[in-house]
Structures are given as structure tokens and as C-alpha cells.
Amino acid sequence: MATPKRAWQRMLSGRRLDLLDPTPVDIEIEDIAHGLAFVARWNGQTHGDYAYSVAEHSLLVETLFGRIAPKTPAKWRLAALLHDAPEYVIGDMISPVKAAVGPGYGVLDDRLTAAVHIRFGLPAVVPVQIKKQIKKADKISAWMEATQIAGFSETEASKFFGKPDTTIIDDLAIVLRPPVETRNAFTQRHDTLLEEMG
């Protein structure tokens, strides 16, 4: 009889996260922040001395979400910050790769998202309207990343991600910094939002 394949990952916190059946008790923000700070977006195909990490992207998406929906409660800003949290264990796959992997990727992502949300006091599934606003912020972030560090022209980026409202991105720029700095900024922002949630 074949030995079942391992479907869990040991985290630096010492937690053992079961990828097929993740539980909120095995999720720690330090693991998420660390993992996301070391996962490169755009498969690392970006200009600059540092990779543009998923943690940095998540900080930008949360800022953009706050501009799109300025009166929204802190819990939904936290949902925006954590929108790519599962990537701390499954990595960041560009959309063409996700399409090639098929529906299994989405199921895994949904399970991990639900566990992360429950761990930090959010509903397992975010309301549709909030999810749409986070997705809008995500696309604006992708447009900024594409044009500022990933080699896309504005025309090309607008074709794939839509042309953003310039008033939303007016004074924002893509930040590239060492992973440890980004990890710390992500953790601090998480802690601030959690405090605001009371």
C-alpha cells in the first residue's frame, strides 16, 4: 500500500498547516507576513534591486481599497490586506498558470482564505460588494505594477487591467524594499487594523 503524500507544511512559527483541511488555529500572521514578503509577483520579472513581493502588493491594495471605499469598516480593510494571504503557502501564480492548473487551484485558495478570515475575526466569505471593491483595487494595483516595474506600456496594461481613475493613484508609487522591511510593514498594518476592529 502506497504511503499517502504529505499535504501539510511546517511554518517558521512551528505550526503545521494542512493544505487540504486548513484550520484557523494553525494560522499565524507572522507566517503569512514572512511568506508573502518572500513571494515575488510577476514571477520575479520586474525591474529593481528587490523582487516586488505579494506582501508589498497587499499593502498597496489595502491603501487603494481605502481610497475606493473610504468609509468602510476596518474589518473590510483587513480583508483587503489579506486578499492574497493563501499565497504564503501556495505561492503567487500568474493568471495564465492558474487557468492551466484548473479549478483545483480555486478550491485550495478558497479553503485557505476561509481559514485565514476566521482566524482574524472575519467572515469565511466576504460579501460580494466588498469583494468587488477589493478586486477593483487589485486591478488598479496590477496596472500600476505593470506600468511601473513589469515593462508594460500604459495601453497594454489598460487592455488587461482597465485604465484606473488617476485621482485614486495620484500620489502613489510602487515601493521596492528588502523583504524584512515589507514583512514588518505588513505585520504592523495587520495589527493596526485588528486594533481598530476592537
Average pLDDT over residues 184-198: 96
DSSP state of 12: T
What is the value of pTM for the model shown?
Answer: 0.93
> Residue 182: phi, psi to the nearest 5?
-65, -40
Long-range CB contacts (< 8 A, 24+ apart) of 152-161? Answer: none
For residue 56, the model assigns a pLDDT of 98
Confidence of residue 39 (pLDDT cuts 50, 70, 90): very high
For residue 96, the model assigns a pLDDT of 74
Distance CA 94, CA 174 (A): 19
Distance CA 166, CA 147 (A): 13
172 and 60 in contact (C-beta within 8 Å)?
A: yes
Average pLDDT over residues 146-174: 96
Average pLDDT over residues 119-129: 97
Q: Average pLDDT over the chain, rounded to whole?
A: 93
Residue 168: how many CB atoms within 10 A of its CB? Answer: 14
Confidence of residue 19 (pLDDT cuts 50, 70, 90): confident
For residue 121, the model assigns a pLDDT of 96
